[in-house]
Structure 1
Amino acid sequence: MKYPALLPFAELLPRLAEFDAIIDVRSPGEFAEDHLPGAINCPVLDDAERIRIGTMYKQINAFEAKKVGAALVARNIGTHIETVFADKPKDWQPLVYCWRGGNRSGALAHILAKIGWPAIQLDGGYREFRRHVNTSLPELAARFSYRVVCGTTGSGKSRLLQTLAARGAQVLDLEQLAEHRGSVLGGWPSAPQPSQKMFETRLWQALSAFDPAREVFVESESKKVGNVRVPEQLMERIRASPCIALGLSQPHRVQLLMQEYDNFVDAPETLAAQLECLVTMYGKERIGVWQAMAREGKLPLLVDELLVQHYDPAYLKSIERNFSQYTQAFALELPDISPEAFDAAARQLHPA
């Protein structure tokens, strides 16, 4: 075979495991928004360079833009060869792609092939992958039977899903994929959320790995998990599915939330600032009281009040309206928040 070979997107998915690396040559900003699962970013133009060359195309002409762009691309590819690819053996086979399988991926694939590596360029690039995700997600969502873990905030839904996954159950953890706990205070402290496109790619990847003959456990999320939105077809399937009503006593819920939101325990001023987002709902006076409780270290009392006055009323108002089988839900009461309690609950739901 003559390299670099051009791989049609229609042949990509069954062959993904063949490649030693999947190389996305788009700019870091494009890569951060979304990329093929498992890809690494080796940009041939960084974000500023891409803007510069694009501006030259529009304001000067294609020839001048290509001349300047070629020098930048060559320099960047040289850096990658000296660093990222320096230790790769002769039979190392990478798949290279860009936005649509054009000049950027073609430049890197050509040079890798000239060196002697059997590089393959993806025809259609990321654009075709994105089109595939968009068209296949609704079909994937409809392929499975779901069981929805319901319960008020702090009842242990996420921990139960994690325990089920550890036991080998199929779990679609929307909060994990969205990197957000789903509530107004639910942002992860360590990282921003993925883009909508990346969230959908993660959903596509998770669903693609599941067996349609087995049920999928999922949490009773709202349509939006933080800033990302669950695709409509998937949301409709989840909301029409059988439910599990997970119960946990109020003191244990407070205890669990103190553990899961330890970032606020360690930084009460951050929690006080975050509570500002509730001013329009409860007014400055009540929020001021809650902020004072946070700053004074009265976090168990604050969590208890937030559950009673904010989270529980909102949950009870929406759950029966949005999940049609909730009134017939299987009741599952946790005695405490020990690993043994969650493991026993998981065994009831997934004995195998």
Structure 2
Amino acid sequence: MPHLTIDLEKALALRDRGALFVDARTPAEFAEATIPGAVNVPLLDDEERVRVGTVYKQEGKGVAKRLGVELVAPKIPAMLQEVTTALQGRRPPVVVFCWRGGMRSHALTTFLDLAGIPARQLVGGHKVFRACVREYFERGEWGKLLVLRGLTGVGKTRLLLRLRDEGYPVLDLEGLANHRGSAFGGLGLSSQPGQKAFEALLWDEMRKIPRSGYALAEGESKHIGRLVLPPRVHESLQKETSLWINASIDYRVRVILEEYPAIDRLRADFVRPIKALRARLGGEVVNRLLELLDRGEWESLVRDLMVLYYDPLYRHTRPDRRIEVDIEPLEEGLSSLRAAIEVVLHEKSRT
């Protein structure tokens, strides 16, 4: 039924206007990566998909199709209700996809259409969306990235979030990666998304940056935890004049202690990252850090980690092209930061 299909460009235009996207793949496929904002209404669960695939290989396409019908048929009313519920407040049609735009999305699209729910099957499925994301990061265009940098603990992320609340355009890379971007950056957080999922989320945010506009971001290395920034995105972080945030060691220690809530509960999780510093800091220093951890002397531990490890490691990231901003006291520092942003934007407008 060609009238029930839609290409990716038109589908994304509908998505931008509030259309519901439905991923008909298994929960495991959905968890690995999907189109941001999609809901998962799987025709087959993970075990059922393996069963159908095995039958296909051993007994042929026809037998596998019949097994698929037997497995899916009892679920149809629940699937229709799930989509109906998710559609509340959204604009039809529903856009349905699977991996290649094959039988699974075709079947669910047909069920929805027969039930009177306007639906379209995405031609090419998630595979064509992944190609779109890769193409965007390889050859796409986006606005400038104005980057906040500074030594560990100056509160770059919280400054970005504060500015975002004030209406500034912000690209929160660490938020998308669910990681604070350091050796201890995953402590207390849930698992990071997979690489494909991260790239999809990043694509969704970066396409909102007008080519003639800008967004504020935090300076990152090529890796955020176990995730990798697309090379051209990392290059974009290096191009503009940086906003270098200065703060005292006491201020930075307070910020770190505030960013790791229930820190005693996480005590055991600090052991492995501290031991991993042995090659850089030496056994004697690491043993002292572990003793501070064991005694729960968090302020001393954080201070020593900054002075001995983080500051020497990251001081070299201070770029030549920078505007320095003293962030203490905070409200005065924010005023200085806003003024520095205007200076960078004014410089850009003249080039």
**TM-score, normalised to structure 1's length?**
0.89
Offset, 1:82 = 4.6
Offset, 1:233 = 1.0
The aligned counterpart of 1:238 is: 237
**How far apart, in 1, do the equivalents of 2:132 and 2:107 lie?**
25
1:242-253 equivalences under 5 Å are 242-253=241-252
Q: CA, structure 1 residues 111+177, in 2 after alignment: closer, same or farther (shift >3 Å)?
A: same
Offset, 1:93 = 3.2
Offset, 1:273 = 4.1
The aligned counterpart of 2:108 is: 108
The aligned counterpart of 1:64 is: 63
- What's the secondary structure of 1:170's corresponding residue? coil
- What's the secondary structure of 1:51's corresponding residue? helix
The aligned counterpart of 2:134 is: 134
Q: CA, structure 1 residues 67+188, in 2 after alignment: closer, same or farther (shift >3 Å)?
A: farther
Q: CA, structure 1 residues 264+86, in 2 after alignment: closer, same or farther (shift >3 Å)?
A: closer
**How far apart, in 2, do the equivalents of 1:286 and 1:314 lie?**
16
**How far apart, in 2, do the equivalents of 1:86 and 1:150 lie?**
44
Q: CA, structure 1 residues 86+179, in 2 after alignment: closer, same or farther (shift >3 Å)?
A: closer
Aligned amino acid, residue 325 of structure 2? L
Q: Is the 8 A contact 1:3 1:118 kept in 2?
A: no
Q: CA, structure 1 residues 50+36, in 2 after alignment: closer, same or farther (shift >3 Å)?
A: same
Aligned amino acid, residue 224 of structure 1? H
Offset, 1:299 = 0.5
Aligned amino acid, residue 114 of structure 1? L
Offset, 1:274 = 3.7
Offset, 1:188 = 5.0
1:1-352 equivalences under 5 Å are 5-17=4-16, 20-85=19-84, 93-140=93-140, 142-187=141-186, 189-317=188-316, 319=317, 326-336=319-329, 338=330, 340-341=331-332, 343-350=334-341
The aligned counterpart of 1:323 is: none
Deviations 1:69-124 (A, max 9, x none): 221122333332355536978x9532111111110011111111112222211111
Aligned amino acid, residue 148 of structure 1? V
Q: CA, structure 1 residues 19+105, in 2 after alignment: closer, same or farther (shift >3 Å)?
A: farther
Q: How many residues align?
A: 341
Q: CA, structure 1 residues 341+197, in 2 after alignment: closer, same or farther (shift >3 Å)?
A: farther
The aligned counterpart of 2:349 is: none
- What's the secondary structure of 1:121's corresponding residue? strand
Gaps of 5+ in 2: 346-351
**How far apart, in 1, do the equivalents of 2:307 and 2:25 lie?**
49
Gaps of 5+ in 1: 321-325
- What's the secondary structure of 2:276's corresponding residue? helix
Q: Is the 8 A contact 2:142 2:207 kept in 1?
A: no
Q: Is the 8 A contact 2:11 2:95 kept in 1?
A: no
- What's the secondary structure of 1:74's corresponding residue? helix
Q: Is the deviation greater in 258-267 or in 24-33?
A: 258-267
Task: Please report the RMSD computed on the Cα atoms of aligned residues, expressed in angstroms.
Answer: 2.4
**How far apart, in 2, do the equivalents of 1:164 and 1:87 lie?**
32
- What's the secondary structure of 1:211's corresponding residue? coil
Deviations 1:112-155 (A, max 9, x none): 11122222111111111111111012344x43222221101111
Offset, 1:329 = 0.9
**How far apart, in 2, do the equivalents of 1:160 and 1:221 lie?**
15
Q: Is the 8 A contact 1:99 1:124 kept in 2?
A: yes
**How far apart, in 2, do the equivalents of 1:251 and 1:220 lie?**
22
**TM-score, normalised to structure 2's length?**
0.89
Q: Is the 8 A contact 2:179 2:189 kept in 1?
A: no
